[in-house]
Amino acid sequence: EIVMTQSPATLSVSPGERATLSCRASQSVSSNLAWYQQKPGQAPRLLIYGASTRATGIPARFSGSGSGTEFTLTISSLQSEDFAVYYCQQYNNWGPWTFGQGTKVEIK
């Protein structure tokens, strides 16, 4: 099973600042990497797939990069609605899919 490791566990950022979240895979997943946002009491929402493609309706301030084992989600200028937990997920080959443990982005 591919293990996904996210860092940091918690990121404290002021509104308007840039946030950079990291995700590392225990083996190469090529570009088969997605990012999700989850707010309290809500289902997750897909932000990025294919490591760098924004899902429909996702603002341009969200961007993804990386391939192989190292990936990054960048939020260029944090808005109040962006404070949430973010998960990466690999979907290399057809199963099993695995999530990272999550990064909580909180208001500084």
Q: Which residues of the chain form contacts with another protein (CB under 8 A)?
A: 1, 34, 36, 38, 43-46, 49-50, 53, 55-56, 85, 87, 89, 91, 94-102
Contact by Cβ (8 Å): 78, 86: no
Contact by Cβ (8 Å): 55, 36: no
**Least distance in angstroms from the C-beta of 73 to another protein:** 15
Contact by Cβ (8 Å): 35, 82: no
Which residue from 32, 29, 53, 57 is spatially nearest to 45, judged by alpha carbons?
57
Residue with tokens 């084992």: 69
* Token pair in block for residue 59: 């603002």
**Least distance in angstroms from the C-beta of 72 to another protein:** 18
- In the complex with another protein, which residue's Cβ is closer, 8 or 15? 8
- In the complex with another protein, which residue's Cβ is closer, 28 or 98? 98
Contact by Cβ (8 Å): 98, 1: yes
- In the complex with another protein, which residue's Cβ is closer, 68 or 102? 102
- In the complex with another protein, which residue's Cβ is closer, 2 or 13? 2
**Least distance in angstroms from the C-beta of 8 to another protein:** 14
**Least distance in angstroms from the C-beta of 91 to another protein:** 5
DSSP secondary structure letter of residue 60: T
